Amino acid sequence: MTGILVHGGRLIDPASGLDERLDLLIVDGRIAQVGADLPLPPGTEHLAASGLIVAPGFIDLHTHLREPGQEHKETIASGARAAARGGFTTICAMPNTEPALDSAAVIDGMLQRARDVDCRVLAIGAVSIGRRGQELAELAALRDAGAVAVSDDGDAVADASLARRAFEYLSDLHIPLAEHCEDPAIAQGGVMHDGAVSARLGLRGQPAAAELSIVQRDIALAEAAGAQLHACHISTEPSLQAIADARARGLHVTAEVTPHHLFLTHDVVAGSGDDLLYDTNAKVNPPLRTESDVQACIDALVAGVVDAVATDHAPHAAVDKQCEFDAAAFGISGLESAWPVVNSLVESGRLTLSEAIERLTIGPVRAWNLDRGELSGLGTLRVGAPADVTLLSTDAVSRVEPDSWASMGKNTPLAGHTLSGVVAATISQGRIVWDGREQ
Amino acid sequence: MVTEPIAEPLDAPSPRVPFDEPITDWRHRHLLDVDTLSREEILRVLSTANAMAEVLDRPVARTPALRGVTIFNLFYEASTRTRSSFELAGKILGADVINVSGSGSSVEKGESLVETLNTLSAVGADAVVMRHQASGAPWLAARTIDGHIINAGDGQHAHPTQALLDAYILLEEFGDLTGRKVVIVGDILHSRVARSNIWSLTTLGADVTLVAPRPLLPASLASGADEPEHPLALPSVRVESDLDQAIVGADAIMALRIQNERLRGKLLPSSAEFARRYQLTAERVAKASPEAIVMHPGPMNEGVEIAVDIAHGPQSRIEAQVSAGLAVRMAILFLLIRGGA
């Protein structure tokens, strides 16, 4: 028997509404007991949590691990280590690997390699073979191999007839189609938000309408098919309004926002100095938008129109970003800065602490119905749940220093920002995978 | 203008151009765009260009002002007038000028821009004049190497020496641009010339009107734009879609080049329809001020954005623009390399 007693912390479990000073006993990878002043059983490790928040481990619905195929950007192991440091105990790996996660065999292989890493890795299968948007992948086989959703993320399922058939086919498989909402015909290769900053910088812009177009199309297709649409990384006010309307009509539409779309505007591409920055670390898809879009994302998160904060962790090698803006890769490495960014909304009074944790834990679990089988209790601190626990501080201040990150992707426009909120320790499946000390 | 036979020593001092005196009133290390130049700084460039024009009028247009200086012309895009004008400008000032193009160099072997710049720096580039298809590339260059960077056109973003030579022509014509009405017509969206001119012309007090069909206008300049007061936005200028109205009373009209592939039904219905609505014709120019001048950054599509008779008529300053380009580029090289921080 192996055990950990998490002692003296403030337990916050949004799923049960719990917010009390309680101890937590973990035995054999499950939560065994929750109570005040629990004794330390013999042979049990003691983890001091006084002054810290004890929360369920975070769940990321949107992580890019670059393995297989681009291990120079990130491996499953390095991504999982980054997750642990960021307080994440479950991450859902997007299928845009090389090869894509478009067959049961490729998913099997990925999950095999993910077995002993520092967090739980779930797979998202591809919608189409090779993510090429032409022929449907064997979606039932992907689900049976463990895919918790399907997505061609990186690209939308641009062909409306294929999207229609995908939603129809998924209607009895009970997994969502996680859509990258960007109509390529409208976005036309835009490298940032189409607005005042793109006009100033002479960069091709992608308008908000490119996102709205796919959101509206997919709401119609999902409704007609009786399937679930999960709208990934929504970034604009009109799309959020469309999603709010669909949910109000009772449709099975879920959505996520990223930390960066909650925190940064397109201004950061230009920078704040005298010289224009063309900051390739701020090149991300969907692009950073306007201040009113940021506020709309926050409002939607507060209102529960958006179920989850998901990182869209997209690590890249330095050379992918040390180049002309047009040539740079899209993406922000996000696992290790997610908590301080979300915590900034708590600090500013937009979210309660419990709401913030909810959007990182039980929120995503409910969105994708992950609380089943051996994952029963995921995203909660209830007795019997997987022992995935995160110890957080809300007031400790730290500088974002990607060079000290576990992720191989150092690409973030937040580098150098001072934020409050630190992940003090992470327990994944009963094992302490992060204790604040670099190994 | 520069190929007279030798009649006096190469480095005969000019009585009016104090080439040997240190420059203490120029603070810019690079010329990336004109958006960071004050009115006084633009005028400083243009008065220096005037002095350079005098050099060009000498029997032997040569001065050793930049002797010992190595300038690389790094051009990733084809260019005739800008490239040859920079090359000549450097040579007239006595610098060693080396041309590197996107083809026939390691660029073709896939070398990154950063590596290429480091290479130029390692072999002793004092200044790099660069043209690049990616907006912002010169800013990356300025952060990468120590030498002076002169932007000779980046993507759809900026073309500062074109804007300065346009200002030179306009000031030569009107003396002062305050309240002068300048109309820029055509493909604003894709035009680095338009963007830079918006900055310099508004800085000089001109009243600027942009004229374009909506698909050729950046969204943020169209009516109903979402952040009209954005601190990073382009300066606020008038925007019209009807050239016949906008041109009334104009003191200067700049036509912009429109690429043929943009006129084949994807962005705009057709070349003929574009010409019908936006071509600078004699009939339209007649609605401008009687002293109005017509400009074009070149290369022109005669018969598309500009009628042949207007392009070569008495109001055209298009050839003068090319000549002014040489003096302005000499002035920029001189000020940056001799004065710039």
Burial-class residue A13 by CB neighbours within 10 Å (0-12, 13-18, 19+). buried
Residues of chain B with pLDDT under 50: 1-15
Q: Return the higher-pLDDT residue of B101 and A226.
A: A226
pLDDT at B104: 60
Q: Within 10 A of B63 (CB to CB), how many other CB atoms are there? A: 24
- What's the pLDDT at B78? 87
Closest CA relative to residue B41, chosen from B238, B206, B200: B200
Q: Could you tell me which residues are beta bridge partners of residue B98?
A: B72
For B160-318, CATH gives: 3.40.50.1370
CB count in 10 Å sphere of residue B80? 10
How far apart are the C-alpha atoms of B246 and B210, rounded to whole Å? Answer: 8
Query: CB contact, 8 Å: A287 with chain B?
Result: no
Chain A partners of B218 at a C-beta cutoff of 8 Å?
198-199, 205
Contacts of A198 in chain B (CB under 8 A): 218, 220
Which of A153, A312, A320, A388 is catalytic? The answer is A312
Question: B232 contacts in A (CB within 8 Å)?
Answer: 196-197, 200, 267, 270
Alpha-carbon Rg for chain B, nearest whole angstrom, is 20
Q: Is B341 in the A-facing interface, judged by CB distances under 8 Å? A: no
Tell me if residue A279 is catalytic. no
Q: Do B113 and A323 touch (CB under 8 A)?
A: yes
3-state secondary structure (DSSP) of residue B187:
coil
Q: What is d(CA B190, CA B217) in angstroms, rounded to the nearest whole number?
A: 8
CATH of residue A99's domain is 3.20.20.140
Mean pLDDT of A263-273: 96
- Say yes or no for a CB contact (<8 Å) between A202 and B132: no
What distance in Å separates residue B234's CA from the closest CA in chain A? 6
Please say whether the dihedral angle defined by the alpha carbons of residues A224, A226, A227 and A233, taken in this order, is positive or negative. positive
pLDDT digits (tens, 9 = 90+) for B295-329: 999 999 999 999 999 999 999 999 999 999 999 99
C-alpha to C-alpha distance for B263 and A411, rounded to whole angstroms: 39
Task: Confirm if A268 and A282 have CB atoms less than 8 A apart.
Answer: yes
Q: Where are the domains of chain B?
A: 39-158+323-339, 160-318
Q: What is the pLDDT of residue B267?
A: 86
A1 has pLDDT over 90 = no
* Closest chain B CA to residue A326: B134
Which residues of chain A from 209 to 268 reach within 8 Å of chain B, CB to CB?
267
Pairwise CB contact (< 8 Å): A323 & B114: yes
**Number of A:B CB contacts under 8 A?**
94
Cross-chain Cβ contact A207/B230 below 8 Å: no
Partners of residue A203 in chain B, C-beta under 8 Å: 135-136, 155-157
Q: Does B145 lie at the interface with A, CB-CB under 8 angstroms?
A: no
Q: Which of B226, B239, B262, B267 to mutate to test the interface with A (most CBs of A within 10 A)?
A: B226
Interchain CB contact of B195 with A (< 8 Å): yes
Q: What domain range includes position A299?
A: 56-375
Asked if the Cβ–Cβ distance from A194 to B219 is below 8 Å, we say yes
Give the model's confidence band at A439: pLDDT under 50 very low, under 70 low, under 90 confident, else very high.
Answer: low
Asked if A150 contacts A127 with a C-beta cutoff of 8 angstroms, the reply is yes
Chain A residues touching B155 at Cβ < 8 A: 202-203, 326
C-beta atoms of A324 and B134 within 8 A? yes
The string over A269-302, giving b where at least 16 C-beta atoms fall within 10 Å of a residue's C-beta and e elsewhere, is bbbeeeebbbbbbbbbbbbbbbeebbebbbebbe
Which of A206, A265, A324, A325 to mutate to probe the B interface, most B CBs <10 Å? A324
| Nearest CB to B220; choose among A199, A270, A277 | A199
Are the folds of B39-158+323-339 and B160-318 the same?
Answer: yes
Rounded (5°) CA angle A98-A102-A104: 115
- A274 interface with B at CB cutoff 8 Å: yes
Chain segment A105-132, per-residue pLDDT in tens: 999 999 999 999 999 999 999 999 999 9
Q: Do B227 and A202 touch (CB under 8 A)?
A: no
Residue A184 belongs to a domain: yes
- Residue A423 within any structural domain of the chain: no
H or E stretch at B239: strand B238-240
Question: Are B227 and A198 a contacting pair at CB < 8 A?
Answer: no
Residue A387 has what pLDDT? 98
* B218 touches A: beta carbon within 8 Å: yes
Do the domain assignments include residue A309? yes
Chain B residues inside the 8 Å CB shell of A319:
112
Assess B158–A contact: CB distance below 8 Å, yes or no: yes
Which two structure tokens, joined as six digits, stand for B59? Answer: 């029997």
Arithmetic mean of pLDDT over chain A: 97
Q: Which residue has the higher pLDDT, A299 or B221?
A: A299
Q: CA B161 to CA B321: how far, in whole Å?
A: 11
Q: Is residue A41 part of a domain?
A: no
Number of domains in chain A: 1
Chain A: residue whose CA lies nearest to B31: A275
B154 close contact with A: CB closer than 8 A: yes
Of A131-145, A155-169, B95-109, give the lowest mean pLDDT range. B95-109
Q: Residue A200 falls within a domain, yes or no?
A: yes
Residue contact A200–B234, C-beta within 8 A = yes
From residue B43, alpha-carbon distances to A277, B159, B220, B252 in Å are 27, 17, 30, 19
A179, pLDDT greater than 50: yes
Please state which of the four CATH numbers 3.40.47.10, 3.40.50.1370, 1.10.3080.10, 1.10.3720.10 is assigned to the domain occupying B39-158+323-339.
3.40.50.1370
Q: What is the ipTM of this complex?
A: 0.92
B135/A325 touch (CB, cutoff 8 Å), yes or no: yes
Q: Considering only residues 76 to 115 of chain B, which have any Cβ-Cβ distance to chain A shorter than 8 Å?
A: 112-114
Q: Which residue's structure tokens are 């642990």?
A: A84
Q: DSSP letters of A46-101?
A: EEE-TTSEEEEPEEEEEE---TTT-TTT--HHHHHHHHHHTTEEEEEE-S-SSS-S
Query: pTM score > 0.80 for this model?
Result: yes
Helix orientation angle between B192-203 and B160-174, rounded to the nearest 10 degrees? 50
